[in-house]
Structure 1
Amino acid sequence: MDGTMGLRALLCVYLASLLVLQAMPTQGSPTGRPKVSKAVDGVTIRSLKVNCKVTSRFAHYVITSQVVNNADEAKEVAFEVEIPKTAFISDFAITSGGNAFIGDIKDKVSAWKQYRKAAVSGENAGLVRASGRTMEQFTIHLNIGPRSKATFRLTYEEVLKRKLKQYEIVIKVKPKQLVHHFEIDVDIFEPQGISKLDAQASFLPKDLESQLIKKSFSGKQGHVLFHPTVGQQQSCPTCSTSMLNGDFKVTYDVNRDQLCDLLVANNHFAHFFAPQNLTNLKKNVVFVIDISTSMEGQKLKQTKEALLKILGDMRPGDYFDLVLFGSEVQSWKGSLVPASPANLRAAQEFVRRFYLAGATNLNGGLLRGIEILNQAHGSLPELSNHASVLIMLTDGEPTEGVTDHSQILKNVRNAIRGKFPLYNLGFGHNLDFNFLEVMSMENNGRAQRIHEDHDATQQLQGFYDQVANPLLVDVELLYPQDTVSAVTQHRHKQYYEGSEIMVAGRIADNKLGSFKADVLAHGGQEFKTTCLVDEEEMKRLLQERGHMLENHVERLWAYLTIQELLAKRMKLEGKEKADVTAKALQMSLAYQFVTPLTSMTIRGMTDEDGLEPIIDKPPEDSLPLEMLGHRKTFVLSALQPSPTRSSSNFQQLPDQVTGVDTDPHFLIHVPQKEDTLCFNINEEPGVVLSLVQDPDTGFSVNGQLIGNKASGPGQQEGTYFGRLGIANPATGFQLEVTPHNITLNPGSGGPVFSWRDQASLRQHEVVVTINRRRNLVVSVEDGGTFEVVLHRVWKGSAVHQDFLGFYVLDSHRMSARTHGLLGQFFHPLDYKVSDPHPGSNPTKTDATMVVKSHQLTVTRGLQKDYSKDPRHGAEVTCWFVHNNGAGLIDGVYTDYIVPDIF
């Protein structure tokens, strides 16, 4: 059976939080200690890798896994990934049998037109939409053909929000099998500098945690690596089961020595505001609590426990009151009272003694709480300088008094009039959470669901902790109107200790010089500051982080804008809602995010009705997986490649490749070791290097270096490949490739193509396929297959210019004498790595490598492979060989300098 045709896929988008790859069914434990990963029912998980790259709070995750079916019959596996609810999926691909099936994001209306037949029949068209507390679960089941393998790659992105003085990255892990190569690699770059970094795994004993999790930070960079061996994954010395089952968390914070934190790249800015050393404001807080009969039992008990703890944490100088609503509304005091020890003891006794009372007069309870805060502002002028907060908890729908949602929204809005925020807590799932969200958004607050579970008390207290210490009120971040556009929310009613206000926007062309940020707020005293952009520092950051910085700042702005538009549309109707929806959809498509307005289809996968699967973002109130019934089965077909790539890109696409890209990083995939080596070549612009040279056929690939447009004093100039020459003298074939043009046989006046063309050319045994604005593929009969990737940079960049990457997709037909900086690695390579230890850079691991009779010090690092995804690339972990590859390459790097590209 063909490896691709044998893949029967079942796509379930039942979103919750977990990283799982399992063969089914599970096999019992053997005796003896396994030395390698154990096949379950004939299926081996060869690798499971999570790469997370954070740049200024913007996190980019790539989860890649490969499974191998060693059996003589098809076997089923399940690939499950739990991602944060706040994240957007941006890419998904399955590679099998030399074919790649890549997700195509389109608007949801268009995607669902394909499902008319399924909708009529009442089936769910392969979609399962369920979510957990803070995570969403993506699941796909595949039957892998006999003696074949499949690789999954999921990419998602999110902006990290600061809570309780730290940012948190959560990766849920549950492979359900020992994995030959398991790795979680987190790389953090924060221009302010990292002040603390920690990593914990809930499934590891503390003594093992310190041994197996490598974490370090210095200056702007932080690094966490979790790379357990098969033996270290075992739940016991003789077990074939894995102990990896739980949360892997990375937490960090940044230095805040400077009040201003402005980041500018690619005509976009990000402004992070979290001032330190401010005096806590005194607060006025009213708790409005649902005591209807639906709160009976555990919910009432946990609510009382949380209130007792919260009251115990009130600070001297705060004022408070309690309002209860069932069929009737009652308040403890009817006015704000100081948080004195006597009042707090009396309030706690009131909480212990109150009982349930009838229906749910939510409107009456809220208006009473608002009235108490408004009266205090009017009758007690000294309280007007406090930060006022209204917190409401309910578990159901309004059933007494005013019950119409729109009327309640209007009443609350008119009563508060923007004077203080309203925070709504929805207990359980028997309520309209959207209603609570809209009410909070209209009144400068937010809503949070409290899940009915054993830790509901901690959930309630955890929410209160986030708003317990206001530092500033009426915060405004202002920017010159003629300089910026499309600015995200920049007015906030309150700023709380341990949080952060984040604003992003676009800067008009040639306006960077007049860009600034003015911050106004009220606190213990008037707060005012102006922030300017340090252009030299921005250039230095671009040098350090390169295109990733430019890309992440823009995508951070896009992410925040889409999230705000999606929230805004919830409270609009008619044309206003349609306009906001259209804008959010346009941005979701432009930045390739799976949002509530878009869906990802996977061409080449169909069920028995000929329908393609769809990846959706589930709604907040979606049903649990077990309640969704029948699941659909899909088949991957090699005859139906994804439309996002030319079919020529899909044939014989290897899982990892050898190539060279960026400035310039050489990636050498060593299949015998299932690992990758990498090295740089540091040379001057204009130098031509031999990449591939086959003396038996004369086939060659040479590349000429170009430099940055500009570099600062004392800075090493980055170099890239700006011109490639591919030649096959036996047929008179020559191809010159630059970031601007592709020229066939340039010496004889051959045709010239631009990167805007889509074309396929054939000359004797060579086929060239140009894929518009993306890449080109050169296939040589009885030779190799090569890819050139085009990298476009921001036109206004003062530093970088467009450049090329070069990859070897297939080299097994090249002669044994093939050489060059890449060509010498077409042949088997043996080496040994030992003694991993912290290196001179505390964020990276060094080790000793013995290769070609040389003993080298190498460093574990990350590079990007753009062969499959020219836009975003895929993270590749490699051993970096220093000093221009000395000891790894034959001879020295200057041996590979040639006069010209042909």
Structure 2
Amino acid sequence: MAVSLLSFLLFSFFNLQVVNGIEIYSMKIDSKVTSRFAHNIITSRAVNRGNVHKEVVFDVELPKTAFITNFSMTIDGVTYPGTIKEKEVAKKQYEKAVSKGQTAGLVKASGRKTEKFTVSVNIEAASKVTFELTYEELLKRQFGKYEMFIKVKPKQLVKDFEIEVNIFEPQGITALEAEGTFITNDLQNIIKKTFSEKKGHISFKPTLDQQRTCANCSQSLLDGDFTVKYDVKRTTPDNLQIVNGYFVHFFAPTNLPNLPKNVIFIIDISGSMSGREIEQTREALLKILDDIKGDDFFNFILFGSEVHTWKETLIKATPENLDEARKFVRGIDTEGLTNLHGGIMRGIDMLNAAHEGNLVPKRSASIIIMLTDGQPNVGISNPQDIQTHVKKAIEGKYPLYNLGFGYGVDYNFLEKMALENKGLARRIYPDSDASLQLQGFYDEVSNPMLTDVELNYPENEISDLTKNSFKHFYDGSEIVVAGRFIDSNQNSLTVDVRGEGVSIDFFDLITPEKITIQNGNEKTGFTWLDSVTLQQEGLTLIINKEKSLVLKMGSGASFVIVLHQVWKKHPLHQDFLGLYALEREKLSEQTHGLLGQFFHPIDFTILEIHPGSDPKKPDATMIVKNNELTVTRGWQKDYRRDPKHGVDIPCWFVHNNGAGLIDGVHTDYIVSSLF
């Protein structure tokens, strides 16, 4: 018995319908989440209590962001495995199988978050059938939490009903929540939730009586969404995990100030938006205006047959301007056809002019949000032509977010155009809460913290890589990059992450030959023969010709980098750089690295001083970090106060590359990709 499936994105629960005496006696979902990745198994069991063969329908609602990996049916002990097919192939095979009366399954659009998978089978009297569906999903972080939801809709009382979720996060779990839209006060205590360190566990197992809508009712109250949310500990902005020749890199910095936004709202006011849709749009825009921050800039562009703008350019969100904007929004009404191309192009031109004329902050995030309910039919109306023009005009400078209102839009067109321009598309469903859907989307993009984020990896080590360049990073979200190593045995990786925030971003890579200063996309080069002083907000850089480079972090610590030049014919050594920290007490306790771990005092004891192989350099025993080390007395130069000549200071030399003194081993501190 062949079973054809559509491979599509998923995650959720199921709805096994009752048909003429079919008893569903068990429904279970087992979810195991490891490092944000959910592996889920739905198992449903039914028996035919009738005297003749009956049809059982397995009906599952799956999240759109997951994928099926396996499906099988077991009838009276015989298992029939399913075959996963690509979307279009699956659709054709499904239609062919149905026409022949064979068993087949297909995934179709179902709701806002879900796709529906349905399969049916005829079973003999007294026969039992077990459906098992396996699906996986990478959980997305929004508003500071990872979220997974389970659609619960069995449509009958089930003797053995259970949801079990086990979470393992190597970083540690900081919060864990579980709730259901159908959960009453009586059911709240049935949700068992625990978490400690790296592990979390949730179970929901209501009895038959607890599932009833009332004491003597046969209807089930289990009808809605069961949602699990959690977050992880973050001691650093990113987390890298390597397994079997693959890696995944999670990047989610915290405690960064928000960037000012420059937002263009492009609104479809064609005749098809009349009535409830334009009312909900006005309602959503009024709520969004309440959330716009004082340092943001914004404007409205309306398109019907013609294109109209509220203001000629973007304006700052002062209280007076916001009041005027509210009056404008309340007066928005519908007219004409759909000049979508004209509306978007006007928005792009307006942003370009604002940046070129320095009308908006240089360090800010520019965003285009376009809402439409129809298809373009005025001016340039061919979708492919519009995509070409928009991509050429934006040039990767601004993300484009397309919101499709209702079911009359060409959603594939909106989605492709958004993805080509570093944005995304979202369907707005024409329900009573459409205005909340619009506002909810704005909330997702209302707090940009970084722009032009790039995560770079050594090209000579990586064979495959997912998207690693992002226009914006938003507060409460997470950037995820995955890849494959050329060497499957590799277990470490150097990552270079760059982004521009509200304060001055400064990255400098220094070598003995040159000094390169990078500020955003601008690079400036110097040599050690230059004498230079650069000052930016919170940072001062001084190059002393042929001597040193001084880096001062505002009122914080300062660093001196000294160019040590070696005799040109030296058989071993080459010119090198020495890094020295001034005012170390201003560095945080979390400062680490080969040098940083010693910027704060450590306890040690010197014992048993005795002559060494060199009479001028005695040996001794050092007790440090519960280790006994053999050390040798000597002298070293301190260049912090005298970068040219240095000052001789006594010290103890630790042998074997610092083993026992430094944290880890010395190779942990070597970044080979820099050389």
* Normalised TM-score (structure 1): 0.54
The alignment status of 1:192 with 2:171, answered yes or no, reads: yes
Alignment of 1:103-502 (within 5 A): 103-106=82-85, 129-209=108-188, 211-380=189-358, 383-502=361-480
Contact persistence 2:9–2:67 (CA under 8 A): no
* Structure 1, 388-397 or 131-140: larger mean CA deviation: 131-140
Q: Deviations over 1:826-868 (max 9, x none)?
A: xxxxxxxxxxxxxxxxxxxxxxxxxxxxxxxxxxxxxxxxxxx
State the match for 2:673 in structure 1.
none
Change (3 A) 1:70 1:12: farther
CA spacing shift, 1:101–1:443, aligned 2, 3 Å: same
Give the whole-Å Cα distance in 1 for the aligned partners of 2:488 and 2:336: 64
Distance in 1 between residues matched to 2:98 and 2:162, nearest whole Å: 41
Q: Residue 525 of structure 1 aligns to a residue in which SS? A: coil
Instruction: State whether structure 2 residue 93 is matched by structure 1 residue 93.
Output: no
Distance 1:410 1:201 in 2: 44
Q: Hey, what's the Cα distance between the residues in 1 that align with 2:356 and 2:399?
A: 18
Letter in 2 for 1:24: V
Kindly report the root-mean-square deviation, in angstroms, between the aligned alpha carbons of the 2 structures.
Answer: 2.8
User: Displacement, 1:520?
Assistant: 0.6
Cα distance in 2 for partners of 1:510, 1:120 equals 47
Structure 2 partner of 1:581: none
What's the CA shift for 1:120? 10
Cα distance between partner residues in 1 of 2:49 and 2:96: 38
Any idea what SS the aligned residue of 1:402 has?
coil
**Contact residue 400 and residue 424 of structure 2 kept, 8 A:** yes
Sort the Cα spacing of 1:309 and 1:205 in 2 relative to 1 into closer, same or farther, 3 A: same
1:401–1:122: structure 2 CA closer, same or farther, 3 Å change rule?
farther
Deviation digits for residues 626-674 of structure 1 (CA, Å, limit 9, x no counterpart): xxxxxxxxxxxxxxxxxxxxxxxxxxxxxxxxxxxxxxxxxxxxxxxxx
Please state whether the residue corresponding to 2:472 is helix, strand or coil.
strand
Alignment partners' CA distance in 1, 2:360 and 2:401: 24
**Residues 191-238 of structure 1 deviation map (CA, whole Å, 9 limit, x = unaligned):** 1111111101111213421x1000111111111000111221122121
| Aligned match of 1:827 | none
Distance 1:243 1:179 in 2: 11
| CA distance in structure 2 between the partners assigned to 1:451 and 1:115 by the alignment | 28
The 3 A distance-change label for structure 1 pair 105 and 355 is closer
Distance in 2 (alpha carbons) for counterparts of 1:112 and 1:312 = 46
Distance across 2 between alignment mates of 1:405 and 1:10: 33
Deviations 1:603-644 (A, max 9, x none): xxxxxxxxxxxxxxxxxxxxxxxxxxxxxxxxxxxxxxxxxx
Pair 244,513 (structure 1): closer, same or farther in 2 beyond 3 Å: closer
Closer/same/farther in 2, CA of residues 354 and 22 from structure 1, 3 Å limit: closer
How far is 1:142 from its partner? 3.0
Q: Which residue of 1 aligns with 2:18?
A: 23
Q: Do the aligned partners of 1:169 and 1:249 also contact (CA within 8 Å) in 2?
A: yes
Residue type of the alignment partner of 2:438: L
Q: Name the structure where strand makes up a greater proportion of residues.
A: 2
Q: Percent identity?
A: 52
C-alpha offsets along residues 135-161 of structure 1, whole Å, 9 cap, x if unaligned? Answer: 011122333311221111011111111
CA contact (8 A) 1:15 1:130 kept: no
2:61 is equivalent to residue 66 of structure 1? no
**Residue aligned with 1:176, SS:** coil
Of 62, 65, 75 in structure 2, the residue corresponding to residue 83 of structure 1 is 62
Give the distance between the partners of 1:317 and 1:468, measured in 2 at CA: 12
Counterparts of 2:107 and 2:249, CA distance in 1: 38
Change in CA separation of 1:147 and 1:52 when aligned onto 2, cut-off 3 Å? same
Deviation for aligned residue 1:131: 2.8
Superposed CA deviations along residues 797-816 of structure 1, whole A, max 9, x for unmatched, are: xxxxxxxxxxxxxxxxxxxx
Residue aligned with 1:235, SS: coil
Shift of 1:243: 1.5
CA contact (8 A) 2:9 2:65 kept: no
Matched-pair contact (CA < 8 Å) for 1:425–1:447: yes
Residue deviations 1:562-608 (CA, integer Å, cap 9, x gap)? xxxxxxxxxxxxxxxxxxxxxxxxxxxxxxxxxxxxxxxxxxxxxxx
**Tell me, what secondary structure is at the counterpart of 2:216?**
coil
Gaps of 5+ in 1: 26-40, 531-902
* 8 Å Cα contact 1:168/1:249 also seen in 2: yes
The CA deviation at 1:316 is 0.8
Larger Rg: 2
Please report how far the alpha carbon of residue 524 of structure 1 lies from its aligned counterpart in structure 2 after TM superposition.
1.7
Shift of 1:78: 2.4
Number of aligned residue pairs: 507
Rounded to whole Å, the distance in 1 between the matches of 2:309 and 2:238 is 44
- Measure, in 2, the Cα distance between the counterparts of 1:376 and 1:113: 51
Deviation at 1:118, TM superposition (A): 7.3
- C-alpha separation between the residues in 2 aligned to 1:126 and 1:498? 37
In structure 1, the residue corresponding to 2:209 is in which secondary structure?
Answer: helix
What pairs with 1:435-834 in structure 2 (closer than 5 Å)? 435-509=413-487, 512=490, 515-527=493-505
Following superposition, the deviation at residue 432 of structure 1 comes to 1.1
Distance 1:122-1:241 versus aligned 2 partners, 3 A rule: closer
Residues in 2 aligned to 1:186 and 1:115: alpha-carbon distance in whole angstroms: 32
Change in 2 beyond 3 A, CA 1:527/1:160? farther
CA contact 1:68–1:150 (8 Å) conserved in 2: yes
Deviation at 1:241, TM superposition (A): 2.1
**Offset of 1:126 from its aligned partner?**
7.1
Relative contact order, higher structure (CA 8 A, sep 6+):
1
1:9–1:23 Cα change, 3 Å: farther
Give the distance between the partners of 2:126 and 2:4, measured in 1 at CA: 20
Contact 1:130–1:136 (CA<8 Å) still a contact in 2? Answer: yes
Look up the match of 2:556. Answer: none
Deviations 1:292-350 (A, max 9, x none): 00101110000000000001110011011110011111100110111001100100100
Match in the other structure for 1:49? 28
Distance 1:65 1:126, change over 3 A: closer
Report the alpha carbon displacement of residue 69 of structure 1 after superposing the two structures with TM.
2.3
Distance 1:109 1:146, change over 3 A: same
Structure 2 equivalent of residue 612 of structure 1:
none
What is the TM-score normalised by the length of structure 2?
Answer: 0.71
Offset of residue 71 of structure 1? 3.2
Structure 1 distance, partners of 2:78, 2:416, is 46
